[in-house]
């Protein structure tokens, strides 16, 4: 077996940890390393003139963190706040700067591994979510779920646009 074949074999069997969560009764995933922490939903201070999916800001451990509603970002409605509603605090890289941005979700499902061999391109499958927000599809419990592209979802330029 050549070096390239060996590397391809290793890549196919490599597994990554993913944070799986529910939003709008659908199961989604993000790479676990992109989630800084998960906190219980707390009141968000609205910011005037922002897009509807930017819910405002909240204080998390002394940091002012902008918060977006994932369902609203996907144009699938608004997240209903309940007992299990959480905010996933993620790190967003913009050039050399790292910003924390919170994403409102219905409920954390679990953290689990998905093998690279169980990943497929998003274009191969139908989804309610715009393909630009999906990094790829991952096979989990014999079903394919969207693995979200946090860099696109949390694009600072789009989030900071004022309502026109």
**Average pLDDT of 73-98?**
91
The answer to whether the pTM exceeds 0.75 is: yes
34-50 CB burial, b ≥16 within 10 A, e <16: bbbebeebeebeeeeeb
Q: With contact defined as beta carbons under 8 Å apart, do 85 and 105 qualify? A: yes
The CATH superfamily of 17-159 is CheA-289, Domain 4 (2.40.50.180)
Where are the chain's structural domains? 17-159
User: Rounded CA gap, 129 and 152, in Å?
Assistant: 13
How do residues 140-158 score in pLDDT, each as one tens digit? Answer: 999 999 999 999 999 877 7
């Amino acid at each position: 077996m050549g070096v390239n074949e060996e590397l391809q074999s290793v890549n196919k069997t490599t597994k990554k940890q993913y944070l799986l969560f529910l939003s709008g009764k659908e199961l989604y995933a993000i790479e676990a390393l992109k989630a800084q922490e998960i906190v219980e939903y707390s009141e968000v201070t609205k910011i005037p003139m922002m897009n509807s999916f930017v819910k405002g800001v909240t204080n998390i451990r002394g940091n002012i963190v902008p918060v977006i509603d994932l369902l609203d970002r996907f144009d699938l409605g608004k997240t209903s706040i309940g007992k299990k509603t959480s905010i996933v605090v993620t790190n967003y890289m913009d050039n050399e700067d790292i910003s924390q941005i919170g994403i409102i979700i219905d409920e954390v499902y679990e953290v689990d591994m998905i093998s690279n061999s169980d990943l497929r391109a998003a274009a191969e499958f139908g989804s309610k979510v715009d393909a630009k927000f999906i990094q790829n599809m991952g096979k989990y419990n014999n079903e394919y779920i969207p693995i979200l592209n946090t860099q696109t979802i949390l694009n600072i330029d789009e989030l900071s646009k004022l309502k026109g």
